[in-house]
Amino acid sequence: MTSPSPWLARVGALLFAGALLYPFTAFFTFIGPWNWSDDVRQPALEAVRVSLVLTGWAMLVIVVIGTPMALYIVRCGARERLIWQAVLLLPVLLPPLAQGVLLSLAFGTQGAVGRWLHHFGIVVTNSATAYIGTQVYVGIGYFVLGAVAAMGSVPFALQQQAALLGLTPWQTFWRVTLPLARLGLAVAVTITWIRTVSEFGAVMVTAYYPSGMPVQLWINLQSFGLTAVMPLLLLFLAIALPLPWLVHLLAQRRSDA
């Protein structure tokens, strides 16, 4: 069986890339002068701040909680690992609006935990706490599943040898598991970042205020039309995309070093 021509394969790859990048040509579509008046600019800049700060806190919570959980799943038995992966898939597979409704009911005053939080003055709707909590719930499944795949690819024999040499489990993780799983963990972080910072449906239900960039895009579309959407959309892409690229490239360079 003959292999396809390298040029034919390259043309196919270029067509594939062109199809992926074609929607970005919408930035050059004439829809009239972009609206960047004070009524649009001030809420948009505040939405940028909200997204970056609160999503940053959400990512910190996800990584701090998710990394030990992923390590536990990697080291547990095969049957238990399947159970944990099934549990993690539940929030991943839920439609975003369903996630928002369930979180709103579970942590609102109708739910037992919500009433308890409300008793201590913790606001779990339309607050920074609600925003961060929703993003953690939306994104943690992606991170843990990605981290399990990354750390599960590290040969267990190397970790056993490290333990025999006197390294503690924590030292083994930092000196053996983390360096060898770095690239896969970087992919998990980047996918989780994009998933959380761009979340609209669940956040719109639980934390319409403070408005992050996705919700503010919707507000601009409803209030001012497409001419007010495009400046914030450009900001959104310019701010949200470089970070995962940078994380991935740094992990790739250190992995190749």
On whether residue 139 sits in a domain, the answer given is yes
pLDDT at 70: 93
Q: Which residue ranges of the chain lie beneath pLDDT 70?
A: 1-4, 248, 251-257
Let me know: does 183 contact 251? Beta carbons within 8 Å.
yes
Token pair in block for residue 111: 């739910």
pLDDT at 62: 97
Maximal CA-CA distance, the chain: 71
pLDDT digits (tens, 9 = 90+) for 53-106: 999 999 999 999 999 999 899 888 889 999 999 999 999 999 999 999 999 988
Let me know: does 59 contact 192? Beta carbons within 8 Å.
yes
**R_g of the chain, CA atoms, integer Å:** 22
On whether residue 122 sits in a domain, the answer given is yes
CA distance 210 to 214: 11
On whether residue 6 sits in a domain, the answer given is no
Q: What is the CATH number of the domain that holds 129?
A: 1.10.3720.10
On whether residue 15 sits in a domain, the answer given is no
Let me know: does 63 contact 146? Beta carbons within 8 Å.
no
- Domain extent for 244: 37-256
On whether residue 11 sits in a domain, the answer given is no
Domain count within the chain = 1
On whether residue 174 sits in a domain, the answer given is yes
On whether residue 4 sits in a domain, the answer given is no
pTM of the model: 0.86
Q: What one-letter code names the amino acid at 65?
A: I
On whether residue 93 sits in a domain, the answer given is yes
